[in-house]
Structure 1
Amino acid sequence: MTQVRNKQVILKDYVSGFPKESDMNIADSTITLKLPQGSNELLLKNLYLSCDPYMRILMTKDTTAGLGAYIPGSPLIGYGVSKVMESGHQDYKKGDLVWGMTKWEEYSLVPATGMCKIEHTDVPLSHYTGILAMIGLTAYAGFFEVGTPKKGDNVFVSAAAGAVGQLVGQFAKLTGCYVVGSAGTKEKVDLLKNKFGYDEAFNYKEEHDLNAALKRYFQEGIDIYFENVGGKTLDAVLPNMRVHGRILVCGMISQYNLIQPEGITNLAHIIYKRIQMQGFIAPDYYHFYTKFLEFILPLIREGKIVYVEDIAKGLENGPKALVGLFSGHNVGKQVVFVAHE
């Protein structure tokens, strides 16, 4: 049996406040590149890893996310793209490419359940960390299934230059909506307007009054708010919603690192304006995945959807890439490149 080095990203201890690179450690272990006798698992070589804001929630011992906290002293867990080295499951064979939950290490032994075989390889493999995986399905299901948009709707997207936001804005434009996005740098605002096709965009850090900014861009109010940040942005959005508006709660990245989350003062508008506010997560919509691929793949191939990735090279740069999400360091979908096939 061949034993090889297996570089890993280990969580040292539970995190309070903003995560730091020093909260994680790069460690070397070894792994046998052979499945245990009778195993029905998959032995994977990890190629790309996805950096996602929800991972911060799992670094907290008493997480309320319902996803299960990370275990200190063990590798981080998240979505990735991998190659099957050995298979103990009849649905997979050696050499198959898959995406799904794996560990932040070079090689992983994982259950076959929950992994998805990659059938379309004419697009970049890294896309299966984002637009063709959980991220894309999140944007698709959230906007179309939860938001039920119609032509002419006024749509606002926060964290609009991020992995999900860049897609939601483009889906909205394809639907015939008026779309405005917020982001945290001039570079990202330019990206929203010049690359992703947003009608308007603004830098929320330069706005002293978010309520006034939203009134400037939405004189008739907001029909759909795709919520990615929470806090002060959500509080400013509520008075600017139209009657029977929809708030699609995908994430609240501004709150994940706060010991005491910010309160919302404008919730009464939900009553007055009969606003529907609904949270959702991608796993609830995995049964839509085939339908989603039929929708998104032609758009990618025909160049009708633009997708920006920010790829950090090397597992050792994983902690920096992950922590950078919370300071807006990334432009587009943050990915860690681990190895070639």
Structure 2
Amino acid sequence: MLIGEVARRCGISARMLRHYDSLGLVRPTGRTDGGYREYSSEDIRRIFHIESLRSLGLSLREVGCALDDPGFKPSELVDDLIRQTRERVAAEMELLTRLRRIGAAGPADWEGVLQVVALLQGLGSESAGKRQRAALSSVQEVPVPVEALVEAALSEPDPIVAGALRWALAHSGDGALPLLAEGLGSPVADVRKRAVQSIAEIAHDEATALLQDALANPDIVVRRCAALALGARGVADAVPTLIDMIVEEANDADAADALSTLASRPPLADQIATGLVGCLAHGTLEPSARLRLTQALADIPGATASRALSDLSHDEDRAVALTAAYVLGIRDAR
């Protein structure tokens, strides 16, 4: 079969067939009397093999090596191509994300584009100092898309940089909240913790609602962080979790402070005191837990707390009894 007919049947140009010949990929097995290339059925089958491998993304050099290697293993080739394709797709997605973020920032001119690019690079820098400066600059100088700030905040391991990023998010408006809410459902515990910490620093009603929902989160760290934030905002829903934190000695000092803040509202003081007394009624509590609950009662005003302290001043545990008596003495002196 002559080159023109082969080109028509195989769907490639005669020029490409000549190129294959020059590379040694497909050399026609015969020549006509006039010296024209003449391809056999085996040559044509090799051409189809070449085109099939090229469609998978192989270069002509790689195609030649694959066809001429007697030890060639298709499975290894496919695995390698999958790896390369994934790397290429990841790189392209990263570029697409960067371009979208630059577009979302709305730079007015080329200088603005360069500033946004520099900040995005800063947020992804290996240097903690550069990441921190980028976070601060995103509020003070060039606005960075909130999506980029959220991604940085949820992945930031350095506590100082994380604080700067949370501050930046708190000043970015409420656009970050839906993205942070997604972070609360992350399979990664650190991401869930960073998400609730970031939400806790945003002073919006929607943020408060998210924190209230977080009290039912399966992650106990998320629940406790949400409770502390809600206690500072005067939300009574946090009381049970805060009391549990005191019992379990988990940020118990902060939990007691939050309860004290909540108890400044008279309707909540008795509720909190009742909750603390209810825990003390459990005979299985360790003396150290009873002492922490007694200390927490010290900052709760009202008759319910005073009666509980009076009872505790006769507690069988000496440390509990002395603490309760001391607190009562101070309360009586006021």
Q: TM-score, normalised by structure 1?
A: 0.24
- If asked which structure has higher relative contact order (CA below 8 Å, sep 6+), I would say 1
Structure 2 length as normaliser, TM-score? 0.25
Greater share of helix residues, 1 or 2?
2
**Who wins on radius of gyration, i.e. which is larger?**
2
